[in-house]
Amino acid sequence: MRRPRRSTLLLAASVAVGVLLLLWGADRLARWAAEGLLARNVQLATGVLTPPEVEVHGAFFLPQLIAGRYERVEIVVEDLRAGPLRIERVDAELTGVHVPFHDLLTQDVDVVYLERTREVATLTYEDLNTYLEATGRPVRLDGRPDGEALLTGSVEILGRRLSASARAVIDAEDGDLAVQPTQVDTATFLDDASRLLLRQRFTVVIPMDPLPFGQELTDVDIGEERITVEAGGTGIILRP
């Protein structure tokens, strides 16, 4: 039995390598196209000025492309705004991102369906205080090294202007951030009714509607300079 000539083996190996390189190049081009399309749609849906960073994971993308379902996608959105509220950054991990093959070819997507999402939003105290001022809240919010927040301000109680400070916790409440005082201090003597009203004046609710990938808040971490909020959702529909 004759053995294949070396030149034949080299030719076969060259063809195999060439096919692999073509598949790798096609895979990379398709992945870049999908990432660009998702970035454009998220930018349109959120109204951010800078295109989001998008990374589609998976060793091979072409099977995901043909199926119209991307297993895992990471997205970073910066400078997200809704009215007077600004969110510095949102880091999101999306599982089961549905984009039909035809939509990628035409670069035109009506909706993107997300099976499951997890996102971490970062808010600075400067941005939160800008929101409080714009919405007529006469208090200022700052972080403390012990994991609580500090509220300071001057509020009106039964016709009297009172300056006070309050230690506060920040919790998730029905998709919003609830800033609730745990201890209120003021130099003015107050009866029980006035102290209750003062505590109410220092209670603040901050809506988190701008979050693009689900508003089910799961955790809030209070830092000295920033607040981070974890959120998620299932069956999210993203419309550009």
Q: Report the pLDDT value the prediction gives residue 20, as an integer from 0 to 100.
A: 43
145 or 15, higher pLDDT: 145
Give the integer Cα–Cα distance in Å for 69 and 66.
8
* DSSP label of 190: -
Give the integer Cα–Cα distance in Å for 236 and 214.
7
Q: How confident is the model at residue 64 (pLDDT cuts 50, 70, 90)?
A: very high
Q: Report the pLDDT value the prediction gives residue 104, as an integer from 0 to 100.
A: 79
pLDDT digits (tens, 9 = 90+) for 120-137: 999 999 999 999 999 988
- Can you list the positions of beta strands (E) in the chain? 53-56, 69-82, 85-98, 112-124, 139-143, 149-157, 160-173, 176-186, 204-207, 216-222, 226-238
Q: Report the pLDDT value the prediction gives residue 137, as an integer from 0 to 100.
A: 86
List the structure tokens of 196: 């209750």
